[in-house]
Each structure stands twice: as structure tokens, then as C-alpha cells.
Amino acid sequence: MTSATVLETVSTQKCFGGMQGVYRHEAKETGCTMRFAVFLPPQAAAGTVPALYYLAGLTCTEENFTVKAGAQRVAAELGIALIAPDTSPRGLGYPGEDDAYDFGTGAGFYVDATETPWRDGYRMYSYITRELPALINASFPVDPARVGIFGHSMGGHGALTIALKNPGAYRSVSAFAPIVSPMRCPWGEKALTGYLGVDRANWRAYDATALIEDRGWAGPAILVDQGTADPFLERELKPELLREACAAKGVKLDLRMQEGYDHSYFFIATFVEDHLRHHARHL
């Protein structure tokens, strides 16, 4: 942590022998106050532990996963730190920032925007991949060489694209109901047009299927859980596109269609232990 960075503790609670905390700081990439949650397992008292980043979906904050997923018990057993950042900048005052749930506030889409005015603060890709890890590594007992990433919906898109573009930084990746191809769904088309402009060639850097086509993935199998009763399955999520892209490039994919599950945190809580153990095997 640089001398210019001030990390403020919002709250801490003992949890499964470890510590669940919420923190905030003034972020350079987003130009605003950013909050994030960190769960440190009891093993962190004796030395560094692996770090697993979780990226949340549309309308969410750092609180959703922390409170609803029930991940701390297993993370404490496995000795893994959980880091859950917010999904977007807040309070920048851009025109239209709060007009819709799927663009602007709560909908940063984990991109570095290039369009005015979004390019000045909507830089969640750089925040997640550079600024936040630097702060975490300097402030908490985590091992920067043992890092995984996962997420849900928009955050699943973020986790997949970030891992695919930075294979040396992330040993493992998984997702719950991810937006696998924002270039080919209404949520993604709206967000990518607004943040990146109309040239679809610029969108490929933030589309998991395109990144697999362009770069592949040599890491361990990508674990994806998708509920069959998810109301966004056919219109927005389209997991078959990820299956096709992985098959064409020989990328290992464990796509599990979970009968009767929807898009909620009840779905995430049901399978989060599987994801934590998946990451633990590689961290």
C-alpha cells in the first residue's frame, strides 16, 4: 500500500474463527470511494493464504455475496481469503448514471470505458486487475502467487474475461450463470455500446467466447454452474455459446446445468462449496 492510499475499516466481525471485514478507500481508477469485503480465514493469523476474488452481478454491491452466499465456513476450513469488491463506481454524477439497473451505477461490467463521460471513472477492469490487488496484497496476509477468481452473472462475465486476459495472474476461474457473450445479448450490447462505442471489434476484449477463440485457456477446467429455471438463461446468458467456443479451442469446461435452479443467491449458496473446493485444488 502506498503512502497515498488510506484504507478505512468500515466493520469487522469474527466469523468461523476468522475475520469478516468491510473496507473503503479512495480509488484512483474510478475517482470515487470504493468499498470491498475481505474474509480472512483463521489460518491467516499464522501466515499468508491464497486469495479468491468474487465479482458480483447487476445491481449488487460488496454486501450481496458476503451476506447471502454462506461461503465463509468452507473458506475457513480451506484456508482461503475471500475478496468481494463493489461492482461499479458510485456517485460520479454522470448524466444518466442512475437511469437504469443495467447501465451505470451497479452495472460497471468490469470494463475500462472509452466513451465520454464514462471513460473518466468507469474503469472497473483496471481497478479489479491492478489497483485493488495491489491494495489487498499490501494490506492483508494473502499470497499474490496463489489467486483465483469467480463471479455471478455480470460478475461471471467479469471473472471469465479477466482470467482469460491475465492467465499468469489467476490460477483458477469459475462462474455462476455468467453472461458468456455480451456481444450477443441485450444486457451486453447495451453496456458495451455505452462504455466502448459502436465498433464491435472493440468489444471482443470483454467477451469470454471471443477471448477463448482468440487466446484459448491453458489453465485448469473452467467450472460453470447454470440453473435451468434461470429467467435470463435463453435471452442473456446462453451457456451453449461458451460450450461451443471451448470445444472448438480444446479448452476444458465443466458446465453443469442445475435442474430447477434460478438466478438467485439461493442458487449460489447451494453450489458455492463446490466452487471453493474447485479453486482450493489449484491454489
Q: Which residues are catalytic?
A: 153, 230, 263
What is the 3 state secondary structure string of the chain?
CCCCCCCEEEEEEEECCEEEEEEEEEECCCCEEEEEEEEECHHHHCCCEEEEEEECCCCCCHHHHHHHCCCHHHHHHHCCEEEEECCCCCCCCCCCCCCECCEECCECCCCECCCCCHHHCCEHHHHHHHHHHHHHHHHCCEEEEEEEEEEECHHHHHHHHHHHHCCCCCCEEEEECCCCCHHHCHHHHHHHHHHHCCCHHHHHHHCHHHHHHHHCCCCCCEEEEEECCCCCHHHHHCHHHHHHHHHHHCCCEEEEEECCCCCCHHHHHHHHHHHHHHHHCCC
- Helix 208-215 / helix 239-249 crossing angle, nearest 10 deg: 0
